[in-house]
Amino acid sequence: MKPPSELPEPIQSQANTLAIELCPLCKSNNLVAVEEKMLLGLITAQTLECGCGAVFLASGDGYKLFDASDRSHPIWREYGGQSLTGKEWNNIAHGGLSDPGQREIDLSRCHRLIEIGTTKLDDRALSTQVDRNLLGQKLEKLGREDEAIQLYEQNLLENDEGSHPYDRLAVIYRRRKLYVDEIRVLAHAIWVYENLASKSRMDRIPKLARFKKRLEKAKLLAGRIETTDDSRFTAMCPYCNSQLDKLPKRKKKCPTCGNHIHIRTGQRIFPSILLTEGQADVADHFDDMRYYGVTDMHFIQEEEKLRREFGKDPRPRDTLWSFYNSLMTRLAEEKYISLAPLYHKMALFLYQEGKPFFHFVYQAIESRLLDYQQSSLQDLFPFYYEKVQILTRPDSCSFCRQQNARILTIDDALSEMPIPKKNCIYQLEHDKSGWCRCTYRPLIEER
């Protein structure tokens, strides 16, 4: 840096386009634009300098407080090394704060206003979606729900990619029986998570499934699905088609044929809420797959595809198995989606059918190990997985009990795969052995 007496006359440079008028440190001298050649003239450094020793280096669209002769100065201690816009530096030079500093003051003021019960909030503090969510939570606790709604609705207009405003609006509107508004909010949330939210987010698909499930319920409550005249709510036995005295509310034995009637009001893959045992099992299996963002329409489309292929109505379990395979093909292209839950459901389905299933149990465990390995490579968290520990049950077979608490690296576990044990003696269901329940527990290590 040149001594103050040797500062050149102001020159026209790009630095002047974002000039800081008054020195933020001494608050008495104007800054001077300076250009210096560096690295044998290959690089031009543009600075704004003051006779007090302050130097501001052009950095992107702003200026960094690069140097100061007095490092004990309050402005240096607060902003030294920081890059701020010219507008922010001018605010500081005239006694103001940087944008983050001002925002913190405004937000604190908003909290104080809320606590004393005023109805007028300072809009300057509500510059981010996170601020609005935090203030909305506080307003709800104070019983000022209408004001919280305004903040959440503003975040909705800005396509907030977090779930908080959508969750809170849906809860509030349902409690107020404003089902049309709840449907509007949930439909918008689904659109945001399908089109804007990053597909690398691990919570995207589960939240999307939750929004869709709640939307179906909201439509039902709104009367979009007429329950009084809907044939789904006809009191008729799904086995023998005999008329029942009234619609049962829980599992009941048919007085005519003696079979147990199961009730699943949330499903729409079958034409009635009264199901056979096999239909109820299929509905439960399918409901577990909503984790992957599937809807009832996916099942119906798969059923129609098989109907055209077979030339007759397919069995519900055939449709479910075909759907599993279609879903597996689709998810295999998704980089950040774990296939372990799907492999597990497919293994359980085949186990219940009395068909060979071990391959899918193996795939479920292997997929989970690969998930641990992949999460460690992403460097997204302050911890990682390098080793796993085998966990067994007290009633496990002798082979598995010998493996209990054994620690392996993930690579060794993938190479050796001591569990699951094929031909395990454990019976998950009566007279059906072979289901190994042993698993791996990841050992967390800090980076």
The C-alpha atoms of residue 38 and residue 405 are separated, in whole angstroms, by: 62
Q: Do 65 and 88 fall into the same domain?
A: yes
Segment 232-236 mean pLDDT: 84
Q: Do 56 and 131 fall into the same domain?
A: no
- The residue assigned the tokens 């497919």 is 346
Whether 351 and 432 have beta carbons less than 8 Å apart is answered as: yes
pLDDT for the residue numbered 394: 84
Say if residue 178 is exposed, middle or buried (CB neighbours under 10 Å; 0-12, 13-18, 19+).
middle
**How would residue 389 be classed by pLDDT, with cut points 50, 70 and 90?**
very high
Residue 293 has pLDDT above 80, yes or no: no
Segment 369-379 mean pLDDT: 75
Q: Do 82 and 130 fall into the same domain?
A: no
pLDDT for the residue numbered 10: 36
Question: Domain of 407?
Answer: 338-447
Residue 11 has pLDDT above 70, yes or no: no
Most confident of 27-31, 371-375, 422-426: 422-426
Asked if residue 298 is part of any domain, the answer here is no
Residue 415 has pLDDT above 80, yes or no: yes
Asked if residue 291 is part of any domain, the answer here is no
Residue 36 in 3-state DSSP?
strand
Other beta carbons within 10 Å of 192: 19
Percent of the chain scoring above 90 in pLDDT: 23
Residue 192 has pLDDT above 60, yes or no: yes
For 430, residues 6+ apart whose C-beta sits below 8 A from its C-beta are none
Q: Do 125 and 88 fall into the same domain?
A: no
Q: Dmax of the chain from CA atoms? A: 107
pLDDT for the residue numbered 396: 85
Higher-pLDDT residue of 12 and 106 is: 106
Cα dihedral 57/63/69/73 (nearest 10): -170
**Global confidence as pTM:** 0.50
Question: pLDDT tens digits for 303-352?
Answer: 888 998 988 889 999 999 999 998 888 877 765 567 888 899 899 999 98
pLDDT for the residue numbered 301: 84
Boundary (domain end) residue, out of 39, 66, 96: 96
Residue 446 has pLDDT above 80, yes or no: no
Other beta carbons within 10 Å of 30: 13
Q: Do 36 and 129 fall into the same domain?
A: no
Q: Do 346 and 393 fall into the same domain?
A: yes
pLDDT for the residue numbered 15: 36
pLDDT for the residue numbered 47: 83
Residue 115 sits in a domain of what CATH number?
1.25.40.10
**What is the helix (H) or strand (E) element at residue 93, kind and residue range?**
helix 86-93
Q: Do 122 and 164 fall into the same domain?
A: yes
Segment 408-417 mean pLDDT: 94
Query: Based on the structure, what is the number of domains in the chain?
Result: 3
Q: Do 161 and 215 fall into the same domain?
A: yes
Boundary (domain end) residue, out of 221, 248, 268: 221
Higher-pLDDT residue of 418 and 178 is: 418
**How would residue 372 be classed by pLDDT, with cut points 50, 70 and 90?**
confident
**What is the helix (H) or strand (E) element at residue 328, kind and residue range?**
helix 316-331
Question: pLDDT tens digits for 58-88?
Answer: 877 788 888 888 888 888 888 888 888 888 8
Q: Do 115 and 217 fall into the same domain?
A: yes
Asked if residue 230 is part of any domain, the answer here is no
Q: Do 88 and 131 fall into the same domain?
A: no
Q: Do 447 and 353 fall into the same domain?
A: yes
pLDDT for the residue numbered 236: 92
Segment 139-168 mean pLDDT: 85
Residue 401 has pLDDT above 60, yes or no: yes
Segment 154-160 mean pLDDT: 82
Task: Give CA separation, 228 vs 76, 94, 234, 241, 243, in Å.
Answer: 72, 70, 9, 20, 17
pLDDT for the residue numbered 335: 57
Residue 120 has pLDDT above 50, yes or no: no
Residue 8 has pLDDT above 60, yes or no: no
Return mean pLDDT, the chain.
80
The C-alpha atoms of residue 216 and residue 251 are separated, in whole angstroms, by: 23
Higher-pLDDT residue of 157 and 163 is: 163
Residue 4 has pLDDT above 50, yes or no: no
Residue 383 has pLDDT above 70, yes or no: no
